[in-house]
Amino acid sequence: MGSEKKRSSGIFWVSVNAGCLLALAVSAAHSATPEIYQALRQAQNAYQLAPDDTQARRQYIFALRDARLSSAALTLAQRYPNAVSSDELRVLQADEAAELSRLASTPSRNQEERYRLADQALQRYDQYLRDWHKLGLGDTDVYRRIELDRMQALHARQSMQTLVNTYEAMRRRDVTIPSYLLNEVASAYLYLKQPEKATALFQAALNAERLDSAEVNDDELAYYYALQESGEHAAARAHLIALSNRQGPWRRVAGNPQLLPNENFLNTARTSAIDPIYAGQVGNATDQLQQLADDAPRDAGLRIALGNAQYLQGFHRQAEVTLKQAESLEPQNPELISVQGMNALSLHEWEQARLLKDYAVTHYPESLATQRLKEEWETQQKYELQISAVRGHATDSPVTGGKDFRTEATLYTPTSDNGMRYFGGTGYAQGDFEEGELNQRWLRAGAQWRTRDLIIEGDVSSQQYGYGTKIGARAAATAWLNDQWQVGAQAAWRPVSTPMRALKNNIWGKRLDLWVQRNGKDDSQWLLAFAPTRFSDGNQRFEARLSGRERLYSSAEFTAHLELDVSASRNSRTDVPYFSPRQDLEVLPGLVLTQTLYQRYDTVVTHSLQLRAGLYKQRDYSAGSVMAVGYGVRYQTGKNVDIQANVLGVRRPYDGRQERELRFQLELNLRF
């Protein structure tokens, strides 16, 4: 009986070993073909038949690796260290870390999960690099592979500065960077606002052969943005047109007779719709994005792009609705949250903007969109200093006198949580008239409250112009009816803008301003204003003005605007010491040409030329021509620094006699 059991047991183990060997042989045969999963199944069978067999363990480990199940392969290798050599274990460790990097780069995962996976991969890479360097393995292939794979994890984690530092250090060591990494290094340079380096690397990546059409298309579009941000606007436009011409709305998949939507075509179409923004044609971009969004109502990216275009155009209420629609599709999108926050700031929705900013900074701190929102919020929390100075040289202007000078400085406090900010200022004006010289000084202090659809402000001033200290006051309100229309009113008692010659003769005024303004697409703006003034000498003045601006042409480097200024006034008295025509009318159209001399992201230098020619008609005098030529330079760095310097030469009639005037103007706006 005992010998029979022993014989049966031996037969069983022979069968097991034979089955294990057969499974291993079949697995090895399949591993040499594309049928990696057949190889994995046979290796798994062999391992299950003989779990203690070293060869079965080894075959199963490498079958898992070939099937790209790197984590499972490493776990099994660590459980059975005798099944693999030290070199093979290091390869498996590199495979597992690379798998984490790939998962971290998967766009279908949310950003929090991608960052978690990338952090795990980076932790492994850093540990391996330290340990293997101590073992003297710094020149081995697996060590260099770890260095390269780590760059992908850095990109997934948006640690762009570290990625660029790593790339440049490896280039100094003459390490060859594979083409599949060039696009990630290029996007890191673009993130760090070094578009020229990004352009060269994107071009090199595009010249390499790759099979993933979606990845190639993403690089094509990223190359376009790098060209735009490098100032190569014509090349960027040409590249985008060529890319669009190569694509169609449908694609075919082998084995499927049906046509499928081409996502690359949609992404390129969206970029083509955004392209006019770089030429200042935001209205054109809005129209194209609206059409695309109507055709693809479930595409959150299109809605976000449309909302951003509406925000840039100044149509903040429309943008608010569009972004809410996008929120229902993709509420956690960092670009969406950023645009919503900046739009809320423009609408003076301070609490909403703060909540969006805090959420974005907490959850997406590395995102460029978050950084833009944070900068915009911090700008609103800064002091604002406004300084203006005007120096005039005239033959003998009856309005400003000869060699007049005027300067004013106003300091605003940061905006509080409820939209309130306070301001104080001082000013000085000087004019030389027949009656003598006038020196005017004033101090003023007030408050401004900005809330949704409404701005209210008021101030009190202390003025001195040769007749003791006088107290003035002003109150103003501006209301937005919608994105296009706004109305305003201002009432002033002893306004500091009272004609200087009137002040020289101790004549002051009370003034009311009423206006309505319409804002259209692409810098279109029209203003209709009325201003009655009652002077202390009994004179009653009524002024009306229509001014407008329309864009004639726009490109990335050049814009041309047609402007019109029509003004008229009527005075009840003409026997006064200051300029006070019974009735007058001025029509002054003009052309303003602006060219961008330098632009690097938010830093812009422009210069402009204005040419104006019109007519002036004063009652009891014949009509005379008005001509003006001006030149100006402007420097801007975001919203923190804005400096303008202008010179303007004017020839116009006063009381039937032509006068010439040359004016120099400087305006400075600083936030700190």
Q: What is the pLDDT of residue 395?
A: 61
Select from 423, 425, 422, 466 the least CA-distant residue to 442: 425
Question: Which tens digits make up the pLDDT trace of 244-300?
Answer: 998 888 888 777 788 888 888 889 999 999 999 999 999 999 999 999 999 889 999
Q: In the beta sheet, which residues pair with residue 447? A: 422, 458
Query: How would residue 193 be classed by pLDDT, with cut points 50, 70 and 90?
Result: very high
pLDDT of residue 197: 95
Our CA angle for 412, 413, 415, nearest 5°, is 110
Q: Is the pLDDT of residue 216 over 90?
A: no
Instruction: Kindly report, residue by residue over 360-378, the tens digit of the pLDDT.
Output: 999 999 899 999 999 999 9
pLDDT at 396: 59
The pLDDT value recorded for residue 401 is: 63
Question: And the tokens for 57?
Answer: 């363990």
pLDDT in tens, 9-58: 444 334 445 444 544 454 454 444 456 778 788 888 888 888 888 888 88
In the block, tokens 């003076």 appear at 348
Number of neighbouring beta carbons within 10 Å of residue 138: 12
Ranges of each domain in the chain: 382-671
591-602 pLDDT per residue, tens? 999 999 999 999
pLDDT in tens, 437-458: 889 999 999 999 999 999 999 9
Kindly report the backbone phi and psi dihedral angles of residue 456, in degrees, each rounded to the nearest multiple of 5, phi listed first.
Answer: -125, 135
**Percentage, residues of the chain above pLDDT 90:** 70
Q: 666 or 255: whose pLDDT is higher?
A: 666
Non-local CB neighbours of 319 within 8 Å, separated by 6+ positions? 307, 308, 310, 311, 339, 343
List, in order, residues 6 or more apart from 285 with CB less than 8 Å away: 273, 274, 275, 276, 277, 309
pLDDT tens-digit readout, 59-93: 888 888 888 888 888 898 899 888 889 998 999 99
Of 60, 165, 149, 163, nearest to 100 by C-alpha is 149
- C-alpha distances (whole Å) from 350 to each of 240, 342, 437 are 39, 10, 48
Sequence-distant (≥ 6) Cβ neighbours of residue 220 within 8 angstroms: 206, 239, 243, 268
| Measured CA distances, 370 to 104, 335, 339, 362 (Å) | 20, 7, 9, 10
Between residues 148 and 29, the one the model is more confident about: 148
pLDDT computed for residue 262 by the predictor: 85
Q: Indicate the average pLDDT of the chain.
A: 90
Q: What is the dotted CATH code of the domain comprising 382-671?
A: 2.40.160
* Position 199 pLDDT exceeds 90: yes
Tell me how far apart the alpha carbons of residues 83 and 58 are, in angstroms, rounded to a whole number. Answer: 5
Nearest of 89, 34, 39 to residue 60 by alpha carbon: 39
Q: What is the pLDDT of residue 23?
A: 47
Predicted local distance difference test score (pLDDT) of residue 436:
84
**Residue pLDDT, tens place only, 103-119:** 988 876 777 888 899 99
**Token digits for 141?**
């292939």
pLDDT at position 251 is: 82
Residue type, 79: R
What's residue 108's pLDDT? Answer: 67
Percent of the chain at pLDDT exceeding 70 = 93
- pTM to 2 decimal places: 0.86
Give the model's confidence band at 126: pLDDT under 50 very low, under 70 low, under 90 confident, else very high: very high
The band of 397, judged by pLDDT with boundaries at 50, 70 and 90, is: low
The pLDDT assigned to 404 comes to 86
- The answer to whether 275 touches 244, Cβ cutoff 8 Å, is no
Which of 212, 149, 162, 150 has its CA nearest to residue 191?
162
